[in-house]
Structure 1
Amino acid sequence: MWLNLLIVIILGFLAAAVDAIAGGGGLISLPALLLIGVPPQLALGTNKFAASMASLNSSITFARSGKVHFPLVKWQIPFTFIGALLGVWAVLSVSSQFLNKVVLILILIVGIYTILHKNLGMENRFEQLVPSKLRAGCCFALALGFYDGFFGPGTGSFLIFSFIALFGFDFVSASANSKVLNFVSNFASLILFAWNGKILFLYGIPMALAMILGSFLGTKLAIRRGAALVKPIFITMSLLVAFKLIYQYI
């Protein structure tokens, strides 16, 4: 038991640090729970519990630094919440195999596009909210909330990319805004997992504490080092998600 706790604490800390910077922490935290023998449904619920605590901490830290653009995300939050609830509900009755293939293609495109466009997200070019882009942003929030509740891998990467491509934010501001929406989708999913008794608090609580510390470190690093740190980690995590999906598909 003590070895299992050590594993989830160490890997949870690492996962949250990476996730706070560029997303993709679920690639580390969820397998950690499965590694110690937690059944899949309990692992998903426990991971959502710990990840919610970490994403809340990151959101608060980013907000205090002035990196979160609340005039935009305040409109996206309810769409994300509703989307996540619908996603968790849908996963009970719909196969994720088709979505797996679609996401694999999309996240490869995101990763490769970011590599090829060297200046993408390196400067903050956001100027003002345009109604047409705000509507598009709310649609993205609904879709990505649904995706996070339904399936999950790569949500952070898609959110960051949408803030950069659609609104012109740099990587740090995009990561800050995406972390707020990521917390909302995590929390919405957590409600349903908790309602169905799918959280193992024996591992969830120590993992959550470790992830809060990891998220604090990752957020501070992102703020201090800027896009020069966030972009390469973003590309790495996007491609790792793609390779993980390829491995599962094969």
Structure 2
Amino acid sequence: MFDLLIASLQSLDWTVLLALCAASFCAGLIDAMVGGGGLIQVPALFGLLPTVGHATLLGTNKVSSVVGTGFAAYRYSRAVPVPWNAALPATAMALLGAYVGAYVVTQVSTQTLRLLLPVLLVAVAAYTFLRKDLGSVHAPRLNVQQERLYGALAGLLIGFYDGFFGPGTGSFLLLAFVVVFGFDFLAATASAKLVNVACNVASLAWFAPAGHVLLGLGLLMACFNVAGAKVGSGLAIRNGAGFVRKALLLVVGLLILRTSYDSYWPLLKPLF
């Protein structure tokens, strides 16, 4: 088994491997703070491995992401009190939502969602920017039963979105835990990491049995993703909620640029 993994890596150019490992480190760093690591890692895979099928690249991305996000979730759980009343139901329902979403995406087109996503991200950025005190204080506003119910709904809906499409999932989760539940950015990030792990596991449950995973490459990238997650989670925990807010605005801004280009440039290109 180990020999097969090594052989699969030897078939790739070392410069490609180096670039993918660097991208995975950066993705892990950003994702551990506010989500959005796919903004770096997915385009790197698609750009550097153009002959590999899309489903296989997405499956390989999930191998790396689930390990890095799992490490970040563990790191946060050791350093930040996790609001389990909301986080556990959200995590459990995200498994179901992401698996169903991964199935549905094979049956219908995502074009409408692609066009709407930049608009949704602009709304997220505007709301976060205008609310200067957003996420600065941990002041839960729901009772125990409400936290469990809303946590389950958030996990199901955002988990479905992650399996169906994906970009910005971490940012949407983070904002949901801050706005709906009243958590500060650190508690919200810790909760979002747990839900993200569930989303990645559910997606892998769809991709892996179908053979859509380059396991050797995915495990190598996972090592660098964990290294990035260690640095990113450390920065967030050490610098607090204000730092996470600024990082969220930066990442959402980059997501707006990327998703706008992906969604609208193919429509506008024939005009030029």
TM-score, with normalisation over the residues of structure 2?
0.88
For residues 150-186 of structure 1, the C-alpha deviation after alignment (integer angstroms, 9 at most, x for no partner) is 1000000000000000111111111111000000001
Equivalent residue number for residue 151 of structure 1 = 165
C-alpha separation in 1, matches of 2:163 and 2:111: 15
Check whether the contact 2:62–2:204 (CA below 8 A) recurs between aligned residues: yes
Candidates 2, 9, 21, aligned match of 1:9: 21
Equivalent residue number for residue 18 of structure 1 = 30
Equivalent residue number for residue 133 of structure 2 = 119
The correspondence of residues 59-78 of structure 1 with structure 2, limited to 5 A, is 59-78=73-92
Structure 1 stretches of at least 4 aligned residues deviating more than 4 Å after TM superposition? none
Gap runs ≥5 in structure 2: 1-12, 265-272
Check whether the contact 1:164–1:170 (CA below 8 A) recurs between aligned residues: yes
Match status 1:248 vs 2:262: yes
Candidates 183, 186, 200, aligned match of 1:169: 183
The correspondence of residues 1-250 of structure 1 with structure 2, limited to 5 A, is 1-37=13-49, 38-126=52-140, 129-250=143-264
Q: Rate the CA distance shift 1:211–1:196 in 2: closer, same or farther, 3 A.
A: same
For residues 20-58 of structure 1, the C-alpha deviation after alignment (integer angstroms, 9 at most, x for no partner) is 001111000111111211432211110011000001101
Q: CA deviation at 1:128?
A: 5.6
CA-based RMSD of the aligned residues comes to 1.3
Check whether the contact 1:67–1:177 (CA below 8 A) recurs between aligned residues: no
C-alpha separation in 2, matches of 1:6 and 1:76: 36
C-alpha separation in 1, matches of 2:90 and 2:23: 31
Gap runs ≥5 in structure 1: none
Q: CA deviation at 1:7?
A: 0.6
C-alpha separation in 2, matches of 1:154 and 1:65: 25
For residues 62-106 of structure 1, the C-alpha deviation after alignment (integer angstroms, 9 at most, x for no partner) is 111133222221222221110001000001101001122232222
Q: CA deviation at 1:205?
A: 1.4
Check whether the contact 2:93–2:153 (CA below 8 A) recurs between aligned residues: yes
Q: Rate the CA distance shift 1:156–1:165 in 2: closer, same or farther, 3 A.
A: same
Equivalent residue number for residue 5 of structure 2 = none
Q: CA deviation at 1:137?
A: 2.7
C-alpha separation in 2, matches of 1:218 and 1:4: 24
Residue 103 of structure 2 aligns with an amino acid whose one-letter code is W
Sequence identity of aligned pairs in percent? 36
Q: CA deviation at 1:133?
A: 4.6
Aligned residues: 250
Check whether the contact 2:85–2:148 (CA below 8 A) recurs between aligned residues: no
Q: Rate the CA distance shift 1:117–1:127 in 2: closer, same or farther, 3 A.
A: closer
Residue 176 of structure 1 aligns with an amino acid whose one-letter code is A
Check whether the contact 2:80–2:186 (CA below 8 A) recurs between aligned residues: no
SS of equivalent residue, structure 2 residue 36:
coil
C-alpha separation in 2, matches of 1:32 and 1:200: 15
C-alpha separation in 2, matches of 1:75 and 1:141: 7
For residues 189-225 of structure 1, the C-alpha deviation after alignment (integer angstroms, 9 at most, x for no partner) is 0111101111112321110110011111111111111
Residue 130 of structure 2 aligns with an amino acid whose one-letter code is L
TM-score, with normalisation over the residues of structure 1?
0.96
